[in-house]
Structure 1
Amino acid sequence: MTFEPERLGQSRSDLAEALRGQRKRAGKTQTWLARRCNMSQTKVSNIEGGKLTPSIVDVELILEALGADSPIAAEILSLARSANTEWQDHWSSRRRGLDKKQNELARLEAVSTEFRFFLLSMITGLLATPEYVRASIADVPGDQSKTIAKKLERQQVLYDDSKSFTFVLTEQAVRWPLLPPMAMAMQLDRLASVSRLPNVRLGVIPLSGHIPERPLNTFTLYDRRLATVETGTGALILRDHRDVTAYRTDFESYEQYALFGEDCLALLAEWSMIFTRPRQ
């Protein structure tokens, strides 16, 4: 299936219409379908009304219950995959205000308990110093003070011991000189400090040795239900369990190359000294 970002929103209504039509052609009621799929009638109604986006598993159960032919089932499952994918482009986010995006992330963090961050090229806001946060959005026009304040406010979630965090950063992400040397040294000290929190695992992948992997994007996993993938022009939000599982597998693969604990702290200290070393 061709990926068309502008079609993602429409695919949700298309999916609702397709499932509703398939049920009616089968001559079944919502109550009958709900009972066969072990769902509430309200859930079936919300799916068919486009108020609730069903998971791929939900759609598979519905199609099996209705005895959908293979070609029709394949088409509807394709719609379900698109409906479980959301595209957020940077330009729309900036027009709405980046502080609105911070509110969305805070709500997502509030309802999640297990977080995995793979950071390929930059340090995420949860780990950033105020100076790093400010520099990371320096190219956005206008007053960004509200966005900076909200980014820093979100860092409080790290101190909620009911949640667990695993951060895997490449050496490039840690050492990319977004700030002047002394400010970068302070940023590395911030990483070391956060790594000592009891509910945080922070590891770095040094650019040495043999790493037979080819990471392409920064991504974040929220529990087992959602993955966000950063690109140069926006972010994909993936809810299909196959996509989330694939990124979990990738994360576990990258994680095995990372150094944690005292080994991580030693590397951070070494790199911090490079930033503070007097230039000849």
Structure 2
Amino acid sequence: MTSSTPWQQRLSTGTEDVQDEVIGWYQQTRHGKAYVPNMIWGTLQTEAYATVILRRVVEFLGVPDDVPAGVAKRMERQQVLYDGEHRYDVVLGEQALYTNVGGGPVMRDQLERLLREMNLPSLSLGILPATAECAIVPVPGFNMGEDRAHYELVSCGVDITDAAELALHRRAFDALSGAAHYGDSATRLIDKALAFWSNA
């Protein structure tokens, strides 16, 4: 089954309620997967990076401005990385390290956080190089729990719950993670991007 809800409906009271929903989903999801090609995964965002992202959402969609409350909830959600009860397999596209969110200082702090957190026991963080050959056609980013896959499109959020479709998403994630770099190789890609932002 596939369902979608327009963002302007979901965000009719601002960003905080949706972020609160996401906290609930993450707390229920013991083993999550995320492929994020163009930006940093929300659960690894710094407060400054998340503030820029949610500010853009509010201004683009014209929804109520509660950005500080939404950011606070996004920071709260990150506790799943430290509670010892959850695990996340995350693949970032190399472009995510270069997409300009807030300028040099914000990007430097964000990449430094990736370097600090990438060895957490709860996290497997891969970087998919821009030139990597991958056994799947290019796909948009998605998040997966045990029971659904979630996409964030321009106008709406989409949830997929059909078992056969979820199996295809797992295959897609396996292909993406199989082409990604981990450990020291991932660190080198992040260091390269950090050097770029240090000179920007």
The whole-number CA distance in structure 1 between the counterparts of 2:90 and 2:132 is: 21
Deviations 1:208-229 (A, max 9, x none): 2534533231101102x21112
Alignment counterpart, residue 159 of structure 2, candidates 237, 244, 259: 237
Establish whether residue 91 from structure 1 lines up as the match of residue 14 from structure 2: no
Q: What is the percentage of aligned positions where both structures have the same residue?
A: 24
Structure scoring higher RCO (CA < 8 A, sep ≥ 6) equals 2
Deviations 1:236-259 (A, max 9, x none): 111110111111111001111100
Q: How does 1:161-200 map to 2 (within 5 A)?
A: 161-200=84-123
Give the aligned partner of residue 182 of structure 2: 260
The whole-number CA distance in structure 1 between the counterparts of 2:184 and 2:84 is: 22
On the 8 A contact 1:221/1:228 being kept in 2, the answer is: yes
On the 8 A contact 1:118/1:168 being kept in 2, the answer is: yes
Give the aligned partner of residue 55 of structure 2: 138
Establish whether residue 272 from structure 1 lines up as the match of residue 189 from structure 2: no
Number of aligned pairs?
Answer: 194
On the 8 A contact 2:88/2:123 being kept in 1, the answer is: yes
The whole-number CA distance in structure 2 between the counterparts of 1:169 and 1:118 is: 6
TM superposition score normalised by structure 2: 0.91
Deviations 1:29-59 (A, max 9, x none): xxxxxxxxxxxxxxxxxxxxxxxxxxxxxxx
The whole-number CA distance in structure 2 between the counterparts of 1:107 and 1:113 is: 12
Deviations 1:80-134 (A, max 9, x none): xxxx322122111221322111111111111110010000211122010111101
Establish whether residue 201 from structure 1 lines up as the match of residue 157 from structure 2: no
The whole-number CA distance in structure 1 between the counterparts of 2:163 and 2:105 is: 43
**Which structure carries more strand by proportion?**
2
In structure 2, list runs of 5 or more residues that go unmatched.
Answer: 60-64
On the 8 A contact 1:116/1:167 being kept in 2, the answer is: yes
Deviations 1:110-166 (A, max 9, x none): 111001000021112201011110110223152311111111111111112221111
On the 8 A contact 2:134/2:179 being kept in 1, the answer is: yes
On the 8 A contact 2:94/2:189 being kept in 1, the answer is: no
The whole-number CA distance in structure 1 between the counterparts of 2:98 and 2:135 is: 21
The whole-number CA distance in structure 2 between the counterparts of 1:212 and 1:165 is: 22
The whole-number CA distance in structure 2 between the counterparts of 1:199 and 1:230 is: 24
Q: How does 1:35-74 map to 2 (within 5 A)?
A: none
**Which structure carries more helix by proportion?**
1
On the 8 A contact 1:217/1:230 being kept in 2, the answer is: no
On the 8 A contact 1:170/1:204 being kept in 2, the answer is: yes
The whole-number CA distance in structure 1 between the counterparts of 2:139 and 2:153 is: 9
Deviations 1:185-209 (A, max 9, x none): 1111111112110121001011125
On the 8 A contact 1:127/1:155 being kept in 2, the answer is: yes
The whole-number CA distance in structure 2 between the counterparts of 1:125 and 1:181 is: 19
Give the aligned partner of residue 248 of structure 1: 170
The AA in structure 2 aligned to 1:232 is V
Establish whether residue 219 from structure 1 lines up as the match of residue 142 from structure 2: yes
Cα deviation for residue 271 of structure 1 reads 1.1
In structure 1, list runs of 5 or more residues that go unmatched.
Answer: 1-83
The whole-number CA distance in structure 2 between the counterparts of 1:109 and 1:234 is: 20
